[in-house]
Chain A
Amino acid sequence: MKSSDDGSLAISLRGVSKNYGDLQALKDVSFDIHKGEFFGLLGPNGAGKSTLISAIAGLLKVNGGSISILGSDVEKDYRQARMNLGVVPQEIVMDPFFTVRETLVFQSGYFGIRNNDQWINELLDQLGLSDKADSNMRKLSGGMKRRVLIAQALVHKPQVLVLDEPTAGVDVELRQSMWRFVRRLHNEGHTIVLTTHYLEEAEELCDRIAIIDKGQLLALETKEDLLARGLGSKLLVRATHPIETIPLEYQDRVARLEGNEVELTIRRDSDSVMEILDRLRAASISIDYVSVLSDSLEDVFVRMTGAQQGGQS
């Protein structure tokens, strides 16, 4: 994939590879994330998502390829690249010696920023941590610690924010308040990169989505294109009487047949719903109700990663 960095790219990956002994964790991964995008990075456990994020954050050295953040190479120009990037790690980690405020003041200083109290107070306020500012990190709940991680990632006002499964194990209320805050950051122009296991979150939040598995990029499309990829939808038909036979040409498409309802798998790019309905009517099925059930991102994801596994097994 050729780079098209005209200043519009938040993150650019070119031929990124990473090996752990014989295991190839990343295989020649190339793609771009544009400024201002809300970008989803999906994949099953062990797909290479966290490895990829670690490589972007400079937490590991890749065996091949290059990565840049807002045009700054993460190795050659690591200082500027890291100033541009905030990362919320997957694991809840903390330094148990310090209070929340101390943690954020230190983190500001690490980025060369002094007297950052105004922004730190705003972060504490926005993340509902103001009353915990002087509490020791050890005394916070898991959800609170997660919020501190977000504040730490934002303390130097990075343009690009990477959230590595930020809502894992987080209750619904916190999850919603977290997304409200992240949406606000996105609306203010920040680029957001999200990995999550909750596919409905990606479906709801992300503009574009990359799916990786076994260290390889399987798909990179807008959410709409991914959902309408022709990978399939379902046609629900309810008849006025119990359905006994399905026309021969559709028998291998039956996903469910119960009483007077049948669900047929259809291909958006090649099937005509009207033609299917005509054939069903011709087979003496009296149609009462029809609905097209769209694939969820989860359906697409399972099919793609499942196909990958099937293809390689």
Chain B
Amino acid sequence: MNWVATYTLLGKEVTRWRKVWMQTVLAPVVTALLYLLVFGHVLEGRVEVFPGVKYTAFLIPGLLMMAVIQNAFANTSSSLIQSKVMGSIVFILLPPFSALEMFLAYVGAAVLRGLAVGVGVFLLAYFYVEVPVENIFVVIAFAILGSYVMASLGLIAGMWAEKFDQIAAFQSFLIVPLTFLSGVFYSIKSLPPFWYEISKANPFFYMIDGFRYGFFGQSDQSILLSLAVMTSAAGALTVICVSMLKSGYKLRDS
């Protein structure tokens, strides 16, 4: 394991998103806050999802996690597709990186971006409504697991895609629907039985539900089940990503 190389690539990827922080951090924070203001204003007092929890407070963990995971996905996918289209991927392919080193660097930088966005959303939302934090370790664990899983998916999308619109399609037709239907704005227990069962098959649901447990100490599903689903997904995606990087899938076969 070449830690200097891994750390350098991670640093380069972090520098990349830091240099355009308005687009990569501030914009998603503002978007999440707009959701909060609009939905909070419309639904506050009309919906009570968890007993004793205001709707706006309920909304914050969902919106926060949505921002975290969407940006983690965007970081790896956009970095890879940009460097593939522009040809600068050659600077990563020529040095002696192992597949695992590349994976850890790309995913690590994306997790950090996801967390930066998450902290931004939390701090600003806190001015709007006070949100309890029942278990900070659960909050942090699910934020990291969620962004890790989505960064890995972004890496797969970035390797697979040959054009920017393929990434956009991946986001629009897979990531956004699965996120919106994962219980960001509602508890899946409020759904009709059929859609409740369907929602339980949505892996994104476990990210949101476990994360929300960290804030309120209550959730739709067992926290252990959510943790098991997330760690399994993270493990499986790690194996898939490292195998793809090792084979040079759509990177070294052109």
Q: A95-B83, A106-B8 given as contacts; is B96 within 8 A of A59 (CB)?
A: no
Instruction: Please tell me if A87 contacts chain B, counting CB pairs below 8 Å.
Output: yes
Contact (Cβ within 8 A) A110 B87: no
Contact (Cβ within 8 A) A79 B254: no
State which of B9-17, B170-178, B203-211 sits at the interface with chain A.
B9-17
Cβ–Cβ < 8 Å partners of A80 in chain B: 96
Q: A79-B96, A91-B87, A94-B88 given as contacts; is B8 within 8 A of A109 (CB)?
A: yes
Count B interface residues, CB 8 Å. Answer: 29
Q: Among the interface residues B88, B96, B97, which one has the most CB atoms of the partner chain A within 10 A?
A: B96
* Complex alpha-carbon distance, A98 and B95, angstroms: 18
List B residues at the A interface (Cβ < 8 Å). 2, 4-5, 7-9, 11-12, 15-16, 19-20, 83, 86-88, 90-98, 248, 252-254
Contact of B2 among A61, A95, A102, A112 (CB under 8 A): A112
Contact (Cβ within 8 A) A57 B5: no
Contact of B96 among A61, A78, A114 (CB under 8 A): A78
Contact (Cβ within 8 A) A112 B5: yes
Contact (Cβ within 8 A) A152 B91: yes
Cβ–Cβ < 8 Å partners of B86 in chain A: 93-96
* Complex alpha-carbon distance, A83 and B96, angstroms: 7
- Residue on B with the closest CB to A79? B96
Contact (Cβ within 8 A) A60 B252: yes
* Complex alpha-carbon distance, A58 and B254, angstroms: 11
Contact (Cβ within 8 A) A89 B87: yes
Instruction: Please tell me if A121 contacts chain B, counting CB pairs below 8 Å.
Output: no
7 more contacts with CB within 8 A, not counting A59-B93, A85-B94, are A60-B254, A79-B98, A82-B96, A89-B90, A94-B88, A95-B88, A106-B8
Q: Among the interface residues A60, A108, A110, which one has the most CB atoms of the partner chain B within 10 A?
A: A110
16 A-B pairs, CB-CB below 8 angstroms?
Answer: A58-B93, A78-B96, A82-B95, A85-B94, A93-B90, A93-B91, A95-B91, A97-B19, A98-B12, A108-B8, A109-B12, A110-B9, A110-B91, A111-B5, A112-B5, A113-B4
Instruction: Please tell me if A135 contacts chain B, counting CB pairs below 8 Å.
Output: no
Cβ–Cβ < 8 Å partners of A58 in chain B: 93-94, 252
The 7 A-B residue pairs whose C-beta atoms are closest, nearest first, are A109-B8, A110-B95, A93-B87, A79-B96, A82-B96, A112-B4, A106-B12
How many residue pairs bridge A and B at CB < 8 Å? Answer: 85
The distance from the CB of A135 to the nearest CB of chain B, in whole angstroms, is 15
The distance from the CB of A193 to the nearest CB of chain B, in whole angstroms, is 15
The distance from the CB of B7 to the nearest CB of chain A, in whole angstroms, is 7
Cβ–Cβ < 8 Å partners of A97 in chain B: 15-16, 19-20
Q: Which residues of chain A (56-90) have a CB below 8 Å from chain B?
A: 57-61, 78-83, 85, 87, 89
Contact (Cβ within 8 A) A59 B91: no
Cβ–Cβ < 8 Å partners of B94 in chain A: 57-59, 82, 85, 87
Contact (Cβ within 8 A) A61 B91: no
- Residue on B with the closest CB to A94? B88
Contact (Cβ within 8 A) B7 A59: no
Instruction: Please tell me if A30 contacts chain B, counting CB pairs below 8 Å.
Output: no
Count A interface residues, CB 8 Å. Answer: 33
Q: A109-B4, A110-B8 given as contacts; is B95 within 8 A of A59 (CB)?
A: no
Q: Among the interface residues A57, A102, A106, which one has the most CB atoms of the partner chain B within 10 A?
A: A106
* Complex alpha-carbon distance, A53 and B94, angstroms: 12
Instruction: Please tell me if A107 contacts chain B, counting CB pairs below 8 Å.
Output: yes
Cβ–Cβ < 8 Å partners of A95 in chain B: 16, 83, 86, 88, 91
Contact (Cβ within 8 A) A102 B15: yes
Contact of A59 among B9, B16, B19, B252 (CB under 8 A): B252
- Residue on B with the closest CB to A86? B94
Cβ–Cβ < 8 Å partners of A94 in chain B: 86, 88
Contact (Cβ within 8 A) B92 A110: yes
Cβ–Cβ < 8 Å partners of B248 in chain A: 60-61
* Complex alpha-carbon distance, A199 and B72, angstroms: 49
* Complex alpha-carbon distance, A87 and B92, angstroms: 12
Cβ–Cβ < 8 Å partners of B8 in chain A: 106, 108-110
- Residue on A with the closest CB to B247? A61
* Complex alpha-carbon distance, A59 and B91, angstroms: 10
Contact (Cβ within 8 A) A110 B5: yes
- Residue on B with the closest CB to A156? B95
The distance from the CB of A55 to the nearest CB of chain B, in whole angstroms, is 10
The distance from the CB of A102 to the nearest CB of chain B, in whole angstroms, is 7
Contact (Cβ within 8 A) A111 B95: yes
Cβ–Cβ < 8 Å partners of B92 in chain A: 110
Q: A59-B90, A82-B96, A102-B15 given as contacts; is B7 within 8 A of A109 (CB)?
A: yes
The distance from the CB of B9 to the nearest CB of chain A, in whole angstroms, is 6
* Complex alpha-carbon distance, A59 and B254, angstroms: 8
The distance from the CB of A188 to the nearest CB of chain B, in whole angstroms, is 22
Cβ–Cβ < 8 Å partners of B252 in chain A: 58-61
The distance from the CB of B19 to the nearest CB of chain A, in whole angstroms, is 5
Cβ–Cβ < 8 Å partners of B98 in chain A: 79
Cβ–Cβ < 8 Å partners of A93 in chain B: 86-88, 90-91
